[in-house]
Amino acid sequence: MAVRKKKNNSLFRQINNWLHLWLGLISGSIVFVICLMACLWVFNHEIIDLVIPKKERQYILASSQSLISPSRIVGIADSLYPNAVVRGITYTRDHPISFTLKKKEQEGKGREANSKANSQVHLLHPYTGQYLGLQTEDNSKEAQLREKLNGFFAWTLSGHRFLWLPREIGRPIVNYATLVFSITLITGLIWWYPKKWTKSTREKSFRIKWKAGWKRINLDLHNVVGFYSFILILLLAITGMYYGIEWFNRALYWSTNWGTPLAERTSVQSDSTKIGQITLFSTAFDREIETILTQYKDPHYLTITYPDKEKKDATISVYIRNDMDRQYNNRYYSFDQYTGAFLPNNISLFNKDFEELSAGEKFRRLNYDIHVGSIWGFPTKMLAFVLTFIAGTLPITGFIIWYNRKWGKKKGSNKLGRESYSREEMNVSNTAIQTTIRKPPIRFRPKSTNL
């Protein structure tokens, strides 16, 4: 019986498989480090909250009417420090209101004029306006432990984003390694797809054979688990490349916003011709802040940054962070420094309420929360952890497959080959071998006769 020759792969599959192999080998070590650091970082808030117990809440920002207004804070600061001007105000959940100052003679001198006095943080009671003094360094054991944990998670984040290299060097390496990894995901899916669907190929493609030898299990972990997690891992990779590859960022916005290109950022300016309306500023600006705190009740923090008076066209910046674990519902505002009027802008991604955004803009706002898995809280964080762990193991299982095919059979190939199969497979193969061996025909001898 003629033996059928195994059909060779088409040129397309040969190129695809070659790209999958070598692109995976090139990017594998970098992807492994990126994923490992992401797994260590993803639960940073939960770990800190678990290790360091929360204190009882003292201040609540849920009612904007109970909070002292920005104009009152500025008035208190002027009475305490008449030779200085307020540079920033921060309303923080569970904390006193804080503000920073800058001496009037240092206005317009920029960052070079920063001094110890300017870096000091002053505290006020959020409801009564009582001056609580300067913010002092917390030397408690909880604070020291928090600082150590924050340092560790900052180290893991630096490894995830820059491989602990300078930003201008590490960031392109990480982003383009992620791009190469995304290509290997697609080529891996093509390689996984069988030429012909049979019962045998379906079992190999969708099931892990746990009773098999370690080589077969490793192969299944690479192929089967890689297939099931393909779309979600690719989504994590895409949302990661959004931050560091400009052309990819624009292409992603264009594709998710029905062909509309990403608009160029344009700055907004205060109207210096309305400097005569400065007397109306306090009332108008207080009303704007009250409206914001009414819309976003009990935020994590709200910061107000005042510009140098020397910069006539500069604006007041307001940033509100509603949740430390999510970013999509944060908001950025610009206000005229003379009239207190709201100035629409597109400087920031967070210049509109989330409900006002188009589909492509919503995806951009959700990008960070999708990437870190915080979009729906702990369940999606756990999912992101599992997916990142799987993504980190793919280069390892792939390398083992390549090594076994390249060098694994050179030493003790028969022994290794038999160990990589299960007992059931060996029994089936032995039975098949026995059936193929033909027994010699029995020769009949004539009965002997006695002479």
Domain extents in the chain: 11-47+144-254, 60-126+265-357
Residue 135 in contact with residue 122, Cβ under 8 Å? yes
More confident residue, 424 or 281: 281
Given this model, what pLDDT does residue 65 score?
A: 53
**Per-residue model confidence as pLDDT tens digits over 112-135:** 445 555 678 999 998 889 999 998
What mean pLDDT comes out for the span 247-272? 85
The pLDDT of residue 425 is above 50: no
pLDDT range class, residue 295, cuts 50, 70, 90: confident
% of the chain exceeding 70 in pLDDT: 82
What mean pLDDT comes out for the span 50-66? 64
pLDDT range class, residue 1, cuts 50, 70, 90: very low
Average pLDDT, the chain: 84
Given the structure tokens 């409900």, which residue do they identify? Answer: 355
Token digits of residue 298: 């009990």
d(CA 385, CA 84): 49
The pLDDT of residue 262 is above 60: yes
Distance, first Cα to last Cα, the chain: 50
pLDDT range class, residue 60, cuts 50, 70, 90: low
90: which residues sit within 8 A by CB, 6+ positions away? Answer: 97, 98, 99, 301, 302, 303, 304
d(CA 178, CA 172): 10
Residue 101 in contact with residue 118, Cβ under 8 Å? yes
The pLDDT of residue 316 is above 90: yes
The pLDDT of residue 422 is above 80: no
Given the structure tokens 């492994």, which residue do they identify? Answer: 32
Of 138-152, 162-176, 387-401, 433-447, least confident by mean pLDDT is 433-447
Query: What Å distances lie between residue 89 and 9, 63, 96, 189, 320, CA to CA?
Result: 67, 18, 11, 53, 12
Given this model, what pLDDT does residue 411 score?
A: 53
What mean pLDDT comes out for the span 359-386? 93
Half-sphere exposure of 291 (CA within 13 A, CB side): 11
Given the structure tokens 């006769």, which residue do they identify? Answer: 449
Of 8, 30, 5, 29, which Cα lies nearest the Cα of 17? Answer: 8
The pLDDT of residue 435 is above 60: no
Of 282-296, 305-319, 339-353, least confident by mean pLDDT is 339-353
pTM here? 0.81
pLDDT range class, residue 426, cuts 50, 70, 90: very low
More confident residue, 48 or 9: 48
What mean pLDDT comes out for the span 300-316? 91
